[in-house]
Amino acid sequence: MSNIVGIEHDRVTNTVSTDFPGYSIEANNEFDIEEFKKKFQINISYITERTANFDLIGIDTSIANAFRRIMIAEVPSVAAEHVYVFNNTSVIQDEVLAHRIGLIPLKVDPDTLTWVDQTVDEKDRFTDDNTIVLSLDVVCTKNPNAVPGDNRAENLYRNSNVYAKDLKFEPQGRQTETFEKNPVVPCDPNILLAKLRPGQEISLRVHCILGIGSDHAKFSPVSTASYRLLPVIDILKPIAGSDALEFQKCFPSGVIDIKENGEAFVKDARKDTVSREVLRHEKFNGKVKLGRQRDHFIFNVESTGAMPPEEIFFKSVRVLRNKAEYLRNCPIGNLN
């Protein structure tokens, strides 16, 4: 049971962390790379264009949490950094409009760009290797072909709404070849930036660069990256009849099922939210034990669309590996 975090009605047990991953006072269970290879598993539940759900089994909490934090804060992506406003006669202030543009996820492979060298003079700092240029030039006019009786702004005016898709990619230098097959576009083209009326216009240029989420949330490639421990439900004594039906209602749908003989059994503990509802009923006292498996992590990664969710995880592994290599090669006393 040392691998199970206990869930009781008023507390959580067996949560004490250890000196190093895999250690147990009950056995000589220090970390061994060969044992780790035998036990470690990755099980993929599903992967879509924006979402991935997978299990990491056989690792320590510190490693799982490192992946989560790196995906949020240290996997680089591309976002708007400088907005040069030439004309803005809309009701949106320049700084608010720039902020909105900065938060638009861009579909760009971060590996196609290099990092901006902040030590270089500003006039030479941005090049076709490290910067992507977008332009926005929109003027609102009356629609001469408006349908009579339809008072919607979309019918009465042209360009009444300014969307993310109105940002146009302007390749610089070698970017014509680099982005020939995959031009830079917003991940969500219908993000509303501003509303215009006849006579109002917006003209600006945007410089987009590499960055990481720890500098600004706009650079984070994930909407969310989270994990939870696999729920464990142990039925210690048979529960049957009307009690089985009541027992089933204590859990989310699909967790508990009932056999033909009327006895309850655990069908899919993965779907449980560990609400502890069953522990409120005196009749089930001593018949069920709840917990979570300490080394089984169910990850859910939602991408902003800048890159596939599986690619974000792969990059987090690469970042963590680089950190480990740095520590391995860094002389003692120079870790700063």
Read off φ and ψ for residue 321, nearest 5 degrees: -65, -40
Average pLDDT for 91-111: 95
Average pLDDT for 42-70: 94
Average pLDDT for 44-52: 95
pLDDT, tens only, 225-239: 999 999 999 999 999
What confidence tier does 56 reach under pLDDT thresholds 50, 70, 90?
Answer: very high
User: Which pLDDT does position 251 carry in this prediction?
Assistant: 95
User: Which pLDDT does position 43 carry in this prediction?
Assistant: 95
User: Which pLDDT does position 99 carry in this prediction?
Assistant: 96
pLDDT, tens only, 242-253: 999 999 999 999
Rounded to whole angstroms, the Cα distance separating 268 from 254 reads 6
User: Which pLDDT does position 335 carry in this prediction?
Assistant: 57
Considering only 86-90, 122-126, 129-133, 224-228, which range has the smallest mean pLDDT?
Answer: 122-126
Ramachandran sector of residue 45 (left: φ over 0; alpha: ψ -120 to 50; beta: rest): alpha
pLDDT at 284 over 90: yes
User: Which pLDDT does position 2 carry in this prediction?
Assistant: 74
Geometric angle at alpha carbon 311, from 310 and 313, rounded to 5°: 65
Q: What are 26's two structure tokens? A: 């009950």
Quick check: helix, strand or coil at residue 190?
coil
Average pLDDT for 108-117: 92
| Nearest alpha carbon to residue 210 among 129, 273, 304, 151 | 129
Q: Which residues partner with 142 through β-bridges?
A: 157
Indicate if the alpha-carbon torsion angle 206, 210, 211, 212 is positive or negative: positive
pLDDT at 136 over 80: yes
User: Which pLDDT does position 21 carry in this prediction?
Assistant: 56
Domain spanning 77-219: which CATH class is it, in words?
Answer: mainly beta
CB 291 within 8 A of CB 4: yes
User: Which pLDDT does position 60 carry in this prediction?
Assistant: 87
Considering only 13-22, 27-36, 227-236, which range has the smallest mean pLDDT?
Answer: 13-22
- What is the chain's Cα-based Rg? 27
> What does each C-alpha distance from 47 to 314, 316, 330 come to in angstroms?
14, 17, 38
Mean pLDDT of the chain: 91
pLDDT at 331 over 90: no
User: Which pLDDT does position 118 carry in this prediction?
Assistant: 87
| DSSP secondary structure string for all residues of 102-138 | HTS-EE--GGGS----TTS-HHHH--TTT-EEEEEEE
CATH code of 4-22+30-74+224-299, in short, is: 3.30.1360.10
pLDDT above 90 coverage of the chain, percent: 79
Q: Pick the residue with more confidence: 29 or 228? A: 228
Rounded to whole angstroms, the Cα distance separating 90 from 134 reads 19
Residue boundaries of the structural domains of the chain: 4-22+30-74+224-299, 77-219
What confidence tier does 19 reach under pLDDT thresholds 50, 70, 90?
Answer: low
DSSP state letter for 148: T
| Nearest alpha carbon to residue 251 among 228, 280, 222, 229 | 280
pLDDT at 124 over 90: no
